[in-house]
């Protein structure tokens, strides 16, 4: 019988061999063997130590990760009916195993014994953190519950796993199902050449003999809403996008997430109540920096108060501009990006599309790698690739000043069918040290940029450049860790409201002259971004910053309030509309169903945690302010950030690590200043 590639445990996943049929056999075999070893570890009568107890448990986690990580990744970037079915069947098995392990009283008692033993004092910081995290997580998994309630917990966890996956698949299906086929060239008026060329390529790829195809993926959707002169078509595109997976819009009732959302919220609430929490948000915040819901809400309301007056002025200016330009009496949502882009062009004499020519992808990548080399003394170099899942994927290694390998990553940058939207970093494997052996971390870095057209490389918007830097910041956090314990190495064990610190921090270099000289080069001449254009960019940096801030506050406040309701029936749409009336200065049409595709909180791990983006942005802006004070490429400051933030992972509390780097507690002032809100 042919060896199952998920069980061969190579250094890198065998993506050229993994098929949907391998998933369940590999997972079932691995889970059976892990359960047997868990039973032995729990039944052992020897005094629990790191070597005879914790290390073997880490080995089990690692073994399971080797099977599931590539499957989870393929599910996100190479969706197929067969793989989808296999994953749907696998999720309850994983959930049952996690619940069983989390409720194993014998294991819990051995961790308690280790924490109370004399050996505990001799453990290093990372090891102590793991033990303390495990004790906390056992309680959050219901280890102290009566047997009947433990069964209920397992059932809820399993059902939630399936529901969240179903939610995500509905969004993917709804996104892929809709497209706009244009055959009249006049309907392309206003669109930049890059968007038209990409739409022509999409149509050809779809087998169409003529015309241009637009879809709901960001590289297609965003240029159309911001540039297309045809207002009716903008409305059509916006309507399809804002009603995905809902009871409204062109596919109303198909892939509808309404019931799925209600079930997710109800089961989360039941789970939290079962564990003794008032609501799910209280349960979620147990593992975060923020103390309670009141602190989160106060933080968000403070941001809204700083933003609201200016946001009203920004909105009034946009309304007046649309009236002056085209006699538009009342701006609709599908008009806002269009007129905002034109207003930005008038005020600052530049547009995002003008910048594309200065950001060919090869130059941006090279400049990004040089930027982090200057900051942290590391070298990023393309390496011989292990098996890949698509011809677009590249593979790189990171080495330090001494030439020692620190980590490696897969880079998958282009949008395509069967790949979920957005941009994200995921871990393939964590850093781990056992004896003299070092397992170096490996990351997946994924974006959805427009593909190259003709002989020209992919040309990025400046927003795309920021996205790339953001995800690479996550990757550096994962790959540069020097923590030897996998459970608290890299991003593992980092509180959710601090995990965005390195990613948002790295974005700042996308705006500096010194870095832009590295990452920009005209696609034809190679000339870096001209000073005149940079000056316009910087002047326009905070264009509509207050409206953008309120938008993020709206999402975060909706999330935290949705998950802090004590009742069983949460009406997502009603909560969202109430939040909008409280903090927003503009209101979308009644058919808008934003929550139905808000995968961050319903399927992506940000439930009662979306505020983390702004919370961590306070940290990142304040951290960057030290570079502003001491030099943007100050190597000593870069080494401090590397040592105190990137290398420490989740081994120490983030507030403590931040204070070590900055010399004080974080201040909101830098974020407000960078956003033009002071």
3-state SS class at 183: coil
The residue behind tokens 């009203």 is 312
Contact 94, 162 (CB under 8 A): no
Residue 656, classified by CB atoms within 10 Å of its CB into exposed (0-12), middle (13-18) or buried (19+), is exposed
Q: Which two three-digit tokens encode residue 340?
A: 């905002």
Closest residue by Cα to residue 503 from 536, 541, 473, 535: 473
> Do the Cβ atoms of 226 and 235 come closer than 8 Å?
no
Contact, 229 vs 186, CB < 8 A? Answer: no
Question: Among 553, 548, 546, which Cα is nearest to 301's?
Answer: 553
How many CA atoms lie less than 13 Å away from 623 in the CB half-sphere?
A: 33
Give the Cα separation of 129 and 653 in Å (integer). Answer: 9
Q: Pick the closest to residue 275 from 107, 144, 94 (CA basis).
A: 144
Q: Which residue, 644, 649, 286, 655, is CA-closest to 491? A: 649
Radius of gyration of the chain (CA): 25
Return d(Cα 288, Cα 279) in angstroms, integer.
15
Say if CB 69 and CB 427 are below 8 A apart: yes
E strands present in 385-467: 394-399, 405-414, 424-429, 432-434, 437-439, 442-449
CB 583 within 8 A of CB 545: no
Which of 467, 521, 410 lies closest to 74, judged by CA? Answer: 410
- With beta carbons less than 8 A apart as the criterion, state whether 494 and 503 touch: no
Torsion sign over Cα 644, 647, 648, 649:
positive
Q: What is the dihedral of CA 599, 422, 517, 458, to 10 degrees?
A: -170
471 is known as an active-site residue: yes
Q: Are 536 and 350 in contact (CB under 8 A)?
A: yes
Greatest alpha-carbon pair distance for the chain in Å reads 82
- Conformational region of residue 458, where left means phi above 0, alpha means psi within -120 to 50, and beta covers everything else: beta
Q: Which of 58, 314, 352, 471 is catalytic?
A: 471
Helix (H, G, I), strand (E, B) or coil at 412: strand
Residues annotated as catalytic are 471
């Amino acid at each position: 019988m042919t060896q199952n590639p998920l069980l061969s445990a190579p250094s890198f996943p065998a993506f050229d061999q993994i098929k949907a049929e391998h998933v369940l056999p590999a997972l079932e075999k691995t889970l059976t063997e892990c359960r047997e070893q868990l039973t032995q570890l729990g039944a052992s009568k020897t005094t629990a130590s790191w070597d005879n107890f914790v290390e073997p448990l880490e080995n089990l986690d690692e073994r399971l990760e080797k099977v599931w990580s590539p499957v989870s990744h393929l599910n996100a970037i190479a969706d197929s009916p067969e793989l989808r079915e296999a994953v749907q069947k696998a999720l309850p098995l994983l959930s049952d195993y996690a619940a069983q392990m989390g409720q194993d009283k014998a294991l819990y008692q051995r961790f308690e014994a280790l924490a109370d033993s004399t050996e505990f004092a001799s453990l290093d910081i990372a090891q102590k953190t793991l033990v303390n995290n495990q004790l906390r997580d056992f309680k959050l998994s219901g280890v102290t519950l009566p047997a009947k309630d433990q069964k209920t917990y397992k059932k809820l966890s399993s059902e939630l796993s399936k529901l969240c996956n179903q939610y995500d698949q509905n969004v993917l299906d709804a996104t892929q199902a809709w497209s706009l086929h244009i055959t009249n060239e006049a309907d392309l008026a206003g669109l930049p050449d890059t968007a038209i060329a990409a739409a022509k390529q999409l149509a050809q790829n779809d087998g169409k003999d003529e015309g241009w195809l637009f879809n709901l993926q960001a590289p297609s959707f965003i240029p159309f809403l911001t540039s297309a002169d045809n207002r009716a078509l903008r409305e059509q595109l916006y309507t399809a996008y804002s009603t995905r997976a809902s009871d409204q819009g062109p596919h109303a009732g198909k892939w509808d997430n309404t019931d799925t959302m209600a079930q997710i919220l109800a089961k989360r609430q039941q789970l939290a109540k079962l564990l003794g929490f008032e609501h799910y948000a209280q349960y979620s915040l147990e593992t975060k920096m923020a103390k309670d819901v009141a602190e989160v809400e106060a933080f968000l309301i403070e941001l809204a108060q700083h933003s609201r007056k200016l946001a009203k002025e920004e909105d009034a200016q946009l309304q007046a501009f649309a009236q002056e330009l085209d006699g538009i009496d009342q701006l609709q949502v599908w008009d806002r990006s269009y007129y905002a882009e034109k207003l930005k062009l008038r005020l600052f004499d530049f547009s995002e599309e003008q910048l594309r020519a200065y950001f060919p992808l090869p130059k941006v990548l090279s400049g990004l790698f040089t930027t982090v080399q200057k900051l942290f003394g590391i070298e990023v170099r393309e390496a011989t690739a292990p098996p890949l899942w698509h011809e677009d994927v590249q593979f790189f290694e990171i080495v330090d000043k001494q030439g020692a390998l620190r980590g490696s990553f897969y880079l998958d940058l282009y949008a395509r069918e069967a790949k979920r939207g957005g941009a994200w970093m995921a871990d393939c494997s964590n850093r781990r040290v056992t004896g003299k052996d070092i397992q170096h971390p490996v990351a997946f870095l994924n974006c959805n940029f427009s593909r190259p057209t003709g002989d020209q490389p992919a040309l990025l918007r400046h927003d795309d450049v920021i996205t790339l830097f953001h995800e690479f910041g996550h990757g550096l956090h994962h790959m540069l860790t020097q923590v030897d314990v996998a459970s608290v190495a890299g991003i593992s064990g980092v509180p959710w409201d601090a995990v965005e610190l390195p990613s948002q921090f790295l974005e700042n270099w996308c705006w500096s002259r010194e870095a832009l000289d590295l990452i920009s080069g005209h696609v034809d001449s190679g000339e870096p971004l001209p000073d005149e254009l940079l000056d316009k960019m910087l002047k326009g940096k905070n264009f509509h910053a207050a409206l953008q801030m309120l938008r993020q506050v709206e999402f975060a406040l909706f999330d935290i309030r949705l998950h802090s309701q004590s009742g069983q029936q949460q009406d997502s749409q009603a909560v969202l509309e109430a939040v909008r009336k409280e903090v927003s200065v503009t209101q979308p049409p009644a058919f808008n169903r934003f929550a139905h595709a808000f995968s961050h909180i319903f399927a992506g791990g940000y439930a009662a945690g979306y505020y983390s983006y702004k919370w961590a942005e306070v940290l990142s802006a304040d951290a960057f302010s030290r570079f502003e004070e001491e030099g943007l490429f100050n190597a000593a400051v870069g080494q401090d950030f590397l040592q105190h933030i990137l290398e420490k992972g989740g081994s120490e509390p983030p507030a403590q690590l931040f204070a070590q780097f900055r010399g004080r507690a974080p201040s909101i002032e830098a974020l407000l200043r960078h956003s033009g809100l002071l």
